[in-house]
Structure 1
Amino acid sequence: MSWLPSLKTATPEEGYSLAIKMSRMAVKLTQPDDEIRKRLRADYANSADSLTMVSQVVATNFQTVAQANNYWSQS
């Protein structure tokens, strides 16, 4: 089964969790070496700029999920 079978979620909170998962998977697919990712984690975990950029990526992914869910509006 695919790790991303759908962008559809029941709630905005589930959508946000999916946005985080999408962001994490992008990093994992871009840098598949687990040891390198572990080694780099300390660098970005202590960088305000890096953490802000992470928030921007998650926000962009959340926007994508929200649009796919018609912003969870009632029809």
Structure 2
Amino acid sequence: MADVWLPSLKTDTPQAGFELAVKLSRMGVKLTQPSDQVRSHLRAAYEQDSSQLINASHVIAVHFQTVAAANNWWR
């Protein structure tokens, strides 16, 4: 992956930080499974599975903790 898509964890607002957390999560999935076709096929299974959706939310929350720490929001 040659393109720089994450120049910084710094964001102007918590909402922008949350959006960055979602992007981090999505990019993690994309790097783990680079095939658009496979990801699309798998999406049909997890979009109907509440446990998998909760797990996805957990991953986003962990990324948001990282972004919040980088922005010193817990002072």
TM-score category of the 2 structures, normalised to the smaller one: over 0.9
Q: Name the structure 2 match of 1:18.
A: 20
Considering only aligned residues, what root-mean-square deviation do their CA atoms show, in Å?
A: 1.2
1:1-51 CA deviation, whole Å, 9 max, x = no partner? 511000000000000000000000000000000100000001000000000
2:43 to 27, 37, 41: 41
Q: Which runs of 5+ in 1 are unaligned?
A: none
Structure 1 Cα separation of the partners of residues 47 and 70 of structure 2: 31
Which structure shows the bigger proportion of residues in helix conformation?
A: 1
2:56 to 50, 54, 57: 54
Indicate the SS of the match to 2:73. helix
Judged with a 3 Å threshold, the aligned counterparts in structure 2 of structure 1 residues 72 and 13 are, in CA distance, closer, same or farther, namely farther
Judged with a 3 Å threshold, the aligned counterparts in structure 2 of structure 1 residues 15 and 7 are, in CA distance, closer, same or farther, namely same
**TM-score normalised over the length of structure 1:** 0.93
Structure 2 Cα separation of the partners of residues 72 and 7 of structure 1: 15
Q: Which runs of 5+ in 2 are unaligned?
A: none
Say if 1:11 and 1:72, in contact at 8 Å, map to a contact too: no
